Structure formats: C-alpha cells, structure tokens
Structure 1
Amino acid sequence: MLALARTAHCARPEDPIAALQETNTKTNQTNGLHWGPNPKTYSNWTTHSNRLIPVYTFGINLDPVDGENSIYRSEAKLKSLFGFVPTKTVNPQAEYFDQTDVYRLQKMAANSGKKRIILFVYDGMDWQTTWAAAINKNGKVAYHEGRGTGLHFQDYRGANTDFGYFVTTPHNSGTDVNVDRQIVTSPGGDTPGGYDPNEAGDKPWSIPTDAGYPIAKGKNTKHAFTDSSASATSMTSGIKTYNNAVNVDYLGREVLPIARQLQDQGWHIGVVTSVPICHATPGSAYANNVHRYDYQDITRDMIGVPSLFHPGALRGVDVLIGSGWGDNKEKDGKQGENYVPGNPYLTQADKDSIDVANGGKYVIAERTPGRKGPDVLKEATAKAIAEKKRLFGFFGVSGGHLPFQTANGDFDPVGSRPSKMEEYTEADITENVTLTDMSLAALDALEAKGKPWWLMIEAGDVDWANHSNNIDNSIGAVLSGDQAFHNVTKWIEEHGGWDDTCLILTADHGHYLVLEDPEVLTGK
C-alpha cells in the first residue's frame, strides 16, 4: 500500500507542505495560515464563504459585464436579478460583476460565432487558494494582489485573455423541498443573498472588516453564502436561486441551462469531473432537480433516461466522464423513495440500459481491475469515435472521487481535522485516470462529432480539500487542475487554435483560507 510511508511525512524535509499540514492538524496551531474567522486556531471553519471569486477568460473579454457594466452598480438590475434589492449591496463603484454573468458571457460567445465553448470550473478555488498554489509552485511570494503569476492559467497568453472577479451569493439559503414530489415547500429560506463591499471588501484579496460577515455571521449585516449547486446554476442558467437547487429557480420552477439551449441548436455537449458524475457542479451543467443530493435522478437526466423531474427523459449529454465508481450504499434518505440500493450515483439498471453492448448510446469506460485507467479510457474513446457513439467514463476510489494529488505531485495525503487520512493502493492509482486524461478524451470525442460543442471541466477536488482544511491536498488539486488546463490549451492550439474557441476558467465559490505568513508555503 502506498500509505505505508505516510507516517514519516513530518520527518521528510523534501515534503514540507505535508509536514506543515500534519503539524498544524495535530496541534491546531496556525503556523502561518488558518481556515476560518478565528486567527488563533488552524481549523475553525470547514465550509464556504461569500468571498469574491476570480475569473480568467480566453478568447473573449469581460468588458460587457464588469466595471461600468456591472449589475452591482444598478438597483434596478439587482432587483431584476434577485427579485428584491439586497441590503447594502448596490455599489456605484463596483468593478466586480455577478456569477450569473458567466452564463451571459457564454451566450454572447455563442451568438458571436464561437463554435467551441469550455467552462473550466475549479470548485471552491478562491483567490487565496490560487495564491497558495502559485506560491508553492514558484517557491516564492511573487505577488500580493491581482491576477498573479506562476500557474499556467495565470500566465497563458496564447489567446486574448482577461481577468476579473464576481459575487457568488445565492438568492437565499434555508429553502425546504420535497424530493419525491420535486417541489419547493418553503420558498424564500431564512437568509437572503447579497454582498456588502464595506464588510467583505471590493476585491478578492481584501481583508473583511468583520471576519464573521463572509460566513453569514456578521455583526451588522447577514447575507447568505452559496453552495455549489446554486452557484453552478447561476453560471449555467443565469439566475439566482436557493442553496441546493439544480437548475430550478427559487420557487422550484425549471430553468434551462445553456448546455440544453445549445443542444437544441445542434451543439454537442460534454461534462468532465474529478468527483461524482452527478455532483452539484457537473449536475448543474445539464439536469434539473429541486435538491442536489438526489444523485441517481440527476444522473438519469445527464445520460438521457427517465427521471422524476423528466419522466419522458432528456436527450442526455454526448460525453460524461467522472467519478463515483465502486461506492455502495443500501439506504439514502436524501434521494427519496425511488432510491435504488447499490451505487448511490448510478444504478446498475441505468448503466446497463445506456451500454452499446445492450443497444444503448454510450461506449462505457470504467475502472477495471488489473488494467491501466488511461488505456481503458483511450480504447473507449477510440471506439466511440469510430462507431459514432457517445462516451461514458466511470472511475474513482471509495468516497466518490479520483485519488487526491498532494502538493509534491504524489498521491499520499496526510490527515486533516475534519477528515481522516485517505489511503490508496497501487491499484487505486494505476486503474484510475487524471483530470487531464478525462479532459483530453472529452475534447477528442466532441471534436470528432463536429463543431459546435460545449464542454464543462470540473476540478472538484479543490473543494473537497478546502472543506477538509487540508493545504497539502488543496495545493495538489489546484496544480493537477492547472496541468489539465495546460493540456487543454495545447490541444486547442493543435486543433485549429482560438479563433472559434472560448474558455472561461473560474470557481463557483470561496472557502476561508487565510495566509498570515505566505512564506511558509514556499517550501524553504
């Protein structure tokens, strides 16, 4: 087992980030960084925050939505967006824009003639998480604000590029639903959305005046912070909605994500993720559901079989590659009465029904004992292209994700306060694929079907690392995602270039990493 050497992490000078994580976890002392509003303990907040989130565009710019065009400068536009005017949110000087503008940017790209649109989402990667990874990769603290440098997505200039940042707050948090009936039972929730720049700051690197404000615990103002499904819905469907919603509005009414709008116009659709295929972000690329945890039904929408929300079935995506393989759960109350015991993300019956071997539309590549994951995926991709079929990939380890890469490039994570240490066998590594493998397979499969096409790529492990307050996993996840982005840009350059291609790279929300002494991440 690869885990056998991990107990020596703290004694290994060649792995300083693992040693830092292990020490901080054991002592709960800050040692240069901490998670949460309390600067006296290393781990004191393990969920999301209301920080402004960076966005990097390639092939388009942000002029139509930022600065003087910001929704946040207009009370009327905010009322149209939220259905009310959030308190202390109008800002006549706002340079930032809104998460829903990512949807509008994609619409504008398609209308302007772009034929390939890629939405690259690092789940949970705020400016501070990016900064930490860049510091570690550079071996120095090269910047303290702005776009930054050192990561490929920060430095790439092979296409027209722009940088900005947006607000992620949802319509509300606290809305209740009935999954079996697919309805909202208490619209409006208990905490409304909004963004107060005087409390949180007007830039992603700003230090909040009230440390409790970004997590809805402000002394003066309380605004809801988003979850991944509400935020992804904003980026794919252009609306504000409640936390846990998947492409439904705050009343539970269906909205059409851009992928389905484009599909109706003849576009091919792909979704890639390092976490479960039906998790909040990839699910919001295509499906509809009143609750993000109704996994099996969300998958049904994505693969084109009948679901509770769509008993007549959607068309399904052309490419779906992600994780969730090997998990088993006999009961799951969050998924309602139609839950089928077994894999919580994909039932055996649904998988069988889509398999080309049974007359279905998908060539299936899944983790196979004794076989290298990249080989399995490449063979399936070639078969799907040759036979003009769809492509479905299903990989992962226990827990529903790909193996977590650490800051040094290995797959040997140490523990964290909220989560136990993950241990991987040699097979867990060799039988799986990477985000790069999945992204390139999706690009090849979509391009073979012909333009136009739309693709979401999600580096979901950033979010899982930050929820665990694990700086080693967090840096590793950003770096593995950056490697995937690097390979995507190379693929684009080798397949016609950027003239008809647009890529938006961003995150769906922030966490609460604070670097008091960024030098500790240089590895020196």
Structure 2
Amino acid sequence: MKLNLRTKNLRRHGLAIALLSCLAAPSALHAKDPIADLQAEAITTGKAEFGHWGPNKDKYSSWTTHSNRLIPVYSFGGNLDQVSGENSVYRSAEGLTKLYGTLPPETLNPQAEYFDQTDVYRLQEMAAAAGKKHIVLFVFDGMDWQTTRAAAIAKSGAVKYDEGRGTGLYIQDYAGTETDFGYCVTSPHNNGTSVSVDKQRVTNPGGKTLGGYDPARGGEFPWSEFPDANYPISAGDDENKHAYTDSSSSATSLTSGIKTYNNAVNVDFAGREALSIARKLQADGFATGAVTSVPISHATPASAYASNVHRGDYQDITRDLLGLPSIFHPGGLPGLDVLIGAGWGETAEKDGGQGENFVPGNKYLTTADQQLADVANGGNYVIAERTAGQPGPDVLNAGVQAAIENKQRLLGYFGASKGHLPFQTADGGYNPVANTGNASSAKAESYSSADIEENVTLSQMTTAALEVLDARSERWWLMIEAGDVDWGNHSNNIDNSIGAVLSGDMAFKTLVDWVDAQDGWEETFVVVTSDHGHYLVLDQPELLAQ
C-alpha cells in the first residue's frame, strides 16, 4: 500500500517503499553460513577461537552482562569538539565533582580525550540552540567498539583496522556531511539503589558502588585491552571499584544529561524528576518520536520521554510515552507524537516489578490504555499493530497515511517472541543457531512465517517515524534504537549480535538517505552511539571474515 503524501515527498517515499519491500522478506538460508557455524561450535564446545565474553579467555562466556568500557560516539552534521579533548569533563576536578556529586577516585585524567555520556545530551542541546531543526539520537543498545568491529569484519569480509573509527559499516563510512568520531565513559552515579515502585521513591540514595572511570585499569581507548580484567565488571578485591551501568541509567544520561542510579528512568540519584531533551524540545514546539526493535517501554525508549524510579514498571512508563495518567504523572504528559516498537503479544498474569497497579494482560500496554489512546475512541493515536494475515509493512504504511492525512499521532505496535522483533542473523535471515544445552548461551528462538510477514524492520519503523514527524512539524526530535544488539551480546551469540548491528546499520542508512533526499544536512544533527559496552574480546577476528 502506498501512502498519499505531500507532493514534495512522493519521489522520496517511492524509493523508501521499494527499500521496505526488499527488507520485509527474510533472506534464504545461505548454503555457507560461517558466522552461524562459529556460533554453533562455541555453544557445543564452550570455547570459541574467534573470541569470548568476559575476563576468562579460555571460556566462551564467563560474563553475561555489561561492562565499564569506553564506547564509540559518531556525529553527523556537527562535530564533538566542544566536549572532547581539552574540553573533556574528565580533565576537570570541579566538573567531575559536579557530574558525580563527588570526585570519584582515580578518575581525574588531565590527558583524557574521551568525554562523558551526559555530553551526548549536551550535544543535542547545542544543536537545537544552533538552530538545527531535526535532531536524531540513534542508539545501538550494547554496541561497544569490539561489537562494531565484529560486524564490520563480517560485512566487509576483511580485517581492515585495529583502532580508531574503522570502516565497513554505514555509520563508519558515511561522509555526506560533516562527521566526527569520539568515545565516552558510561559509568553511572551508583549501583545498588533500592526503590519503591508503588510510592515512586528512592529508599537508599547513594547505593552500594559509586561510579567513575580509571583509565589505568579500563584503558585510554575503546580498543584498549583491559589492564585489569576484573575492573570493567566491578569485580576483584580493589576497594576503589567503579560501578558499570545498566541501560536505563545510561539512557537517562543520553537524554537528560545527568548521572543516576542503575534502573532509574529520568530521575536523579534521589528519585527527583529530570526532564528529557524530548520533553524540553517539545515545550519549544518540536514534534517528538521514538522507534525501537524491542518493547516500547524498555529502558532506552522509556528514557526518551518517561520518568519512573524503576525501569521495570513497563505499563506506567508506556502511559507516560502516550500521554496517559501514570503513577509518576497522575495528570499525564503531552505524550510523544510517534511511538513505534515491539511488545505486541507478550502477556503476563503477574509482574511484581510493576507494583500494585499492574494489569494482567499485555505486559507493556494494557488493553484499556490502548483503547484510550486510539483515535477510534477519541484518543490521540492512529494505531498500527501486528494483524493476523496482514503484511506488517502494509499495516504500518496504512497507519502512516492515516496519521498524516488526519494530522494525528502514530502508535506502531509489533513483535514476535518475547515481545521484540525477529532477530536478524549475520547472513541477513532470521534463523538463530539452536542451543544444544550450553548454559552460557540463551535458548535460540525460532520464528514462524507469520512472525516474519506480519512484523516490520527497524528500517521500516524509521521511515514511518520520519514521514509522520516531518508532516507534524518542521522541527522534530527522534530516538532510534537498535535494541537487539544488547540481546545478542547478553546471550553470548555472535551471530545474533552481528545481525543486529547490520540491521541497525541499515536503519541508519535509511535515515541518512532520507536526509540526503531532503538536502537537509544544514538543518539536521545526528548522533550515533551506544548506551554501554559488553565484554566481547576478539582473539582471532580474522575468523569472522570468512
């Protein structure tokens, strides 16, 4: 189904529809799939020659969570000069004290080239102050430098770099506008803070482990080997441990510019509300949107707009995103103009993490809230959701057309197993390697033909959001999250991890192609980054180049 858009958009939209049609169908299984073979061997033997996750190089996985690693930042339509190098907050004791609330031990570094994750928020603020009309925060959840390199090697078929920005992916190679590369610290204010979801209060401000970054133990560069293998995971006997972040604390840093405790969504270390860049720009007339390949109220999209003392309060977070009364905002917020993501079909009868007001049914969006949001019932959103027997791109495109023609907002709701979009693997298909029983690797998912046909891709979501936002205002802010990179790394799955990066990279290409078609770089600023690193170590990267 083609949309009847404004005349100036027809040529651009036609190209987009052609791209979406190509992406909608999964590719056939390759006769040779070397990345899948590497994954299968690692699951079977518990070892992998290409690399490992965690501090133990003799074991395929000895850690399944995040790390305090420096992560890459790419800018387009502007540079990083105002926050990096001599302007780095890590060169200033006063700046660090203000940032963390105290001067973290072993963190001041007069030679720091890296900056802080909160500076990504400031870059967006500065772009708006400079008159940029289109601001995009593109987050590859869980994609550190090593994960990026693995995907670049697999895509290019060669090991072309061992430091720096690198080459092989669109995010590395696109040069259609001014672009820059840097890296930042992701450490939170603290880990170990306790909260009451029902009362929306922090019960022990300060937590157990404070944040900071010691380059002598973590490395001066994202590509550095860890001088202290235990440091990035807050392990060992060292009394000067630094906390490593979760996705909600780090996303809050990206969107609200503050350090906070792990599990916080746009609240500070004491539970006080912090306004996200989207809410500030919305108050100034910007349209706002968020798209994600994972559930709509997971940590990163939640931090685009909502506030909550705990990231697991999914239904209330969705209420904030849609402008409905929530536990944190009983009077409701204005709501995002566009929200497209996953979570469809994921139900639960109980969920203690969501507090006393949890409603059995869909874990992320209650039936009652969906009905309140629906324009058919007097709400503010055209709803395009996964529909049995209907191609996902057609459903989404129809929603886009209706939202634009009737000057309404758009909620896109899709998903497969566990609420996320089908995982793309490194070969471009949707065929995760089966787990034969290794406890270090999550059970592989399988998808029906309906799961593939009735869903959409992150690229398609991106195009839909751009079209609706551009129709609603000449000024807009958009978050795009490739959330499944994190899921691939959590499950120690190199095939899923690379596939997720490549899927997100295609969504980035969709974005910049859209800007190029508009001749819009003078008015656009895009920052691409991650929320945190994992602990992937590439021992023989050439094995990924087969």
For the superposition of Structure 1 and Structure 2, which TM-score range results when normalised by the shorter chain? over 0.9
Match of 1:157 among 147, 169, 175: 175
Partner of 2:405: 386
2:369 counterpart SS class:
helix
Contact 1:210 1:218 in 2 (8 A): no
Specify the alignment match of 2:511 in structure 1. 488
Q: Distance in 2 between matches of 1:264 and 1:356?
A: 23
Aligned counterpart, 2:367: 348
How far apart in 2 are the matches of 1:446 and 1:329? 33
Decide whether the 8 Å contact of 1:210 with 1:219 is kept in 2.
Answer: no
Matched residue, 1:465: 488
Whether the 8 Å contact between 2:385 and 2:414 is mirrored in structure 1 is: yes
SS in 2 for 1:223: coil
Please point out which of 449, 456, 460 is paired with 1:426: 449
Match of 2:395 among 376, 382, 386: 376
Shift of 1:295: 0.2
What does 1:238-387 align with in structure 2 at a 5 Å threshold? 238-387=257-406
**Selected match of 2:81 from 43, 57, 63:** 63
d(CA) in 1 for partners of 2:529, 2:473? 26
Q: Which residue of 1 aligns with 2:154?
A: 136
The AA in structure 1 aligned to 2:543 is: V
Unmatched tracts of structure 2, length 5 or more: 1-28
- For 2:134, the equivalent position in structure 1 comes to 116
Return 335-344 or 219-228, whichever deviates more.
Answer: 219-228
Does residue 1:36 correspond to 2:59, yes or no? Answer: no
- Counterpart of 2:321 in structure 1: which amino acid? M
Residue 91 of structure 2 aligns with an amino acid whose one-letter code is R
1:496 Cα deviation from its structure 2 partner: 3.2
Pairwise CA distance, 1:418: 3.3
* Aligned-pair Cα RMSD in Å: 0.9
How far is 1:415 from its partner?
3.7
What residue number does 2:252 align with?
233
2:96 is equivalent to residue 73 of structure 1 = no
1:396 aligns with 2:425: no
Match 1:502 to one of 525, 532, 539: 525
Q: Whole-Å Cα distance in 2 between the matches of residues 68 and 214 of structure 1?
A: 25
CA distance in structure 2 between the aligned counterparts of 1:211 and 1:462, rounded to whole angstroms: 23
**1:515 aligns to 2:532 (yes or no):** no
Return the letter of the residue paired with 2:454: E
Task: Give the Cα–Cα distance (whole angstroms) in 2 for the partners of residues 86 and 415 of structure 1.
Answer: 44
Q: Secondary structure at the match of 1:499?
A: helix
Query: Separation in 2 of the partners of 1:449 and 1:316?
Result: 14
Equivalent position amino acid for 1:473 in 2? N
Question: Deviation per CA, 1:413-435, whole angstroms, max 9, x where unpaired?
Answer: 01453311101000000000000
Residue type matched to 1:120 in 2?
Answer: F
Q: 1:101 aligns with which of 80, 100, 119?
A: 119
Are 2:223 and 1:205 aligned? yes
| Alignment check: 8 A CA contact 1:353 1:360 kept | yes
* Aligned partner of 1:127 among 133, 136, 145: 145
Deviates more, 1:466-475 or 1:31-40: 31-40
Deviations 1:30-68 (A, max 9, x none): 222111110010011110000000000000100000000
CA contact (8 A) 2:43 2:441 kept: no
Percentage of identical aligned residues: 65
1:6 maps to what in 2?
none
In 2: Cα distance, 1:288 partner to 1:95 partner = 32
CA contact (8 A) 1:103 1:238 kept: yes
Q: For 2:313 and 2:50, how far apart are their aligned partners in 1?
A: 40
Q: Which amino acid aligns with 1:148?
A: G
The Cα shift of 1:24 comes to 0.4
- Counterpart of 1:452 in structure 2 is 475
TM-score where L is the length of structure 1: 0.97
C-alpha displacement of 1:218: 4.0
Decide which of 171, 174, 187 is 1:169's aligned counterpart: 187
Unaligned runs of 5+ in 1: 1-8
TM-score (norm: length of structure 2): 0.93
For the Cα contact (< 8 Å) 1:172–1:192, is it kept in 2? Answer: yes
Q: Does the 8 Å contact 2:417/2:445 carry over to 1?
A: no
1:447: how far off? 0.4
Aligned to 1:183: 201
Tell me if structure 2 keeps the 8 A contact 1:363–1:389: yes
Report if aligned partners of 1:30, 1:39 keep a CA contact under 8 Å in 2: no
* Structure 2 letter corresponding to 1:121: V
Structure 1 residue 219 displacement after superposition: 4.3
Q: SS where residue 186 of structure 1 aligns?
A: coil
Q: Deviations over 1:118-160 (max 9, x none)?
A: 0000000000000000000110100000000010110000010
Q: Distance in 2 between matches of 1:78 and 1:386?
A: 49
- How many residues are treated as equivalent by the alignment? 513
CA distances 1:210-250 after superposition (whole Å, capped 9, x unpaired): 10100001443311000000000001000000000000000
CA distance in 2, matches of 1:99, 1:22: 35
Given that 1:211 and 1:218 are in contact with CA atoms closer than 8 Å, whether structure 2 keeps it comes out as: no
CA distance in 2, matches of 1:290, 1:406: 34
Check conservation: 2:65, 2:534, Cα contact below 8 A: yes
Aligned-partner Cα distance in 2 for 1:14–1:158: 35
Distance of 1:236 and 1:121 partners within structure 2: 11
Determine the C-alpha separation between the residues in 2 that align with 1:404 and 1:302.
Answer: 25
